[in-house]
Amino acid sequence: MTERQHWQMAFLKQARLDWEAYQRTSQAVWPTCHRLLFLQMASEKLSKAVLITGHSSLETITQSHAAFVKFMQVASKDRKLQKVLGMKKSQQKAQFKTLLPLAQEIELLAPALAQSGPNPEYPWKDASGNISAPGDYSFPLMKRLRETPQGIQLLRYTEIFLKRFEELFM
């Protein structure tokens, strides 16, 4: 196994653990910020597990948090995925396109990308000067993920990609 493949397996393992943590932190018991933190981390590491076998440098990959949307955009054209999902090329492209806004919202939860805005990890100061803690914020994104067709589909795909990673991306 090459060093890149070792990195890939390490990112994948951690992505799966983050996803498991997301699933175990039930809505009734856990604050939304913690659930979204696990979801954001799972999606970023899933994307990096795919990215790592491309030619981007390890430094570029580890330093960037903007991986999930890129991954979804490229996945929308992936022939292997098309076969597994049983869709036509144009269907796959169109469906993934509808998921991108939510994928971007998840990506922007990373504190480095949130630009002093709501994020699930650190307090922030809003434009009015109010300081908020993630635990006090409602994160409307969670409702959209749970209740809209796009949100449900995006979470379903994330789970499929993680569970069937070896078949789909290796």
Partner 1 sequence: MSQNHNIISAAESLMQEHFELEPNLEQIIWINSDKTTEIRLLEINSETFPAGAVLSFYFAPDDDFPYATIMAEITPDEWQKVQRHEIPLPEGWTLESYKVYSREMVTV
Q: What residues line the site for partner 1 (CB under 8 A)?
A: 50-51, 53-57, 60-61, 63-64, 66-67, 69-71, 73-74, 77-80, 89-90, 93, 104, 170
3-state secondary structure at position 131: strand
User: How many CB atoms are closer than 10 A to CB 103?
Assistant: 22
One-letter amino acid of 167:
E
Residue 32 CB, nearest distance to partner 1 (Å)? Answer: 24
Please say which residue, 13 or 89, places its beta carbon nearer to partner 1. Answer: 89
Residue 42 CB, nearest distance to partner 1 (Å)? Answer: 18
The CA distance from 122 to 96, in Å, is 30
Residue 89 CB, nearest distance to partner 1 (Å)? Answer: 6
Please say which residue, 21 or 85, places its beta carbon nearer to partner 1. Answer: 85
Residue 99: C-alpha distances to residues 69, 102, 148 (Å): 9, 6, 11
